[in-house]
Amino acid sequence: MDRTRSGLVNGLIGVVIFSASLPATRVAVMQFDPVFLTAARAAIAGLLALGMLLVFREKRPALSDITPLLVVSLGVVVGFPLLTALALQYVTSAHSIVFIGLLPLATAIFGVLRGGERPKPAFWVFSMLGSGLVAGFALTQGLAAAPVGDALMLAAIVVCGLGYAEGAKLSRTLGGWQVISWALVLSLPATIALCLWTKPPTFAGIGAPAWIGLGYISVFSMLVGFIFWYRGLAQGGIAAVGQLQLLQPFFGLALAGLLLREPVTPTMLAATLGVILCVFGARKFAR
């Protein structure tokens, strides 16, 4: 399998894993405080990452890698999880999932700014079209109904796109799983302290679904998914593989409907199918 195809396969595996993140977060945030949830998922993943780095005796990152790793930490370890957890107090996971359609555009923009990539002009046409469909969906749902939730989701997309692009750039030299592992370890002192500070007085009333949600976003969303995702971005290119995120709403909406029994409207499906079509056009002109 050539490097580009391998990148697409790894990227797709990462997207499938990420697709359950918002439904799982929605379940967990119903019983856990958003700040505690963000700290707990990062602390659990950070401890696992530390164990992996010690077992495989990975060398420490160079001094020049520390700043990019901190950007990754702020973007995907803290920023995106916290902002989405806060947003899901105002909107359903089905509503928030469609905003993920904006991630490819954000990732591509930061891929140009930080990764040195130069997609063809037609790429931006398809990418903007996909993003426009997402924005149009949000407008049809009525932004006035939950302006705080929508604003938080948009902020989450921006910081996540930066974290994706910065991590992908670093993965070319440091390795995919090493990037997310070191980013988690660097933030571990802060996330453990925050976790202890914000933990609830008692866990007696926390149900099994909330624990399962926390477990999923800690192990899979925060660590395993990134191992495949950063490797895919490094192999196939940030702009090209990043467009696979347009498929994430499709998987996420299916999970929200099946697991949470949240309503999946024809408008949601139409918007999702529209952005899926855009991914094929964008990918063709990504290089």
pLDDT tens for the 287 residues of the chain, in order: 678 889 989 999 999 999 899 889 989 999 999 999 999 999 999 999 999 999 999 989 999 999 999 999 999 999 999 999 999 888 877 778 777 777 888 888 888 888 777 888 888 888 888 778 877 776 676 655 678 888 899 899 999 999 999 998 899 889 889 999 999 999 999 999 999 999 999 999 899 999 999 999 999 999 999 999 999 998 888 888 888 887 787 787 777 777 777 777 787 778 777 877 877 777 677 66
Amino acid identity of 58? E
Tokens of 145: 């109904």
3-state DSSP helix/strand/coil percent for the chain, to nearest 5? 85, 0, 15
Sorted by where each begins, the domain ranges of the chain are: 3-284
Q: Cα separation of 143 and 96, whole Å?
A: 12
Count CB-CB contacts under 10 A for residue 58.
15
Task: Give the residue among 250, 43, 25, 271 at the shortest CA–CA distance from 149.
Answer: 25
Contact 137, 91 (CB under 8 A): no
Q: Cα separation of 30 and 238, whole Å?
A: 34
pLDDT at 287: 62
pLDDT at 150: 85
- φ, ψ (nearest 5 deg) of residue 61: -65, 155
Provide CB contacts within 8 A for 10, sequence distance 6+.
Answer: 176, 228, 229, 231, 232, 235, 236
Amino acid identity of 209? P
- CA-CA distances (angstroms) from residue 261 to 23, 27, 234, 274? 11, 12, 36, 23
Using the Cα atoms of residue 220, residue 224, residue 227 and residue 229 in order, give the sign of their dihedral. negative
Tokens of 56: 């495989």
Tokens of 219: 């192990």
pTM of the model: 0.87
Provide CB contacts within 8 A for 82, sequence distance 6+.
Answer: 34, 35, 38
Tokens of 281: 């056009």
Nearest 5 degrees, angle CA 233-CA 236-CA 240? Answer: 85
Query: Which value, in Å, is the radius of gyration of the alpha carbons in the chain?
Result: 18
pLDDT at 252: 76
Contact 229, 161 (CB under 8 A): no
Task: Give the residue among 86, 125, 93 at the shortest CA–CA distance from 285.
Answer: 125
Q: Cα separation of 277 and 245, whole Å?
A: 12
Q: Cα separation of 199 and 104, whole Å?
A: 34
Q: Cα separation of 237 and 39, whole Å?
A: 31
Q: Cα separation of 28 and 48, whole Å?
A: 20
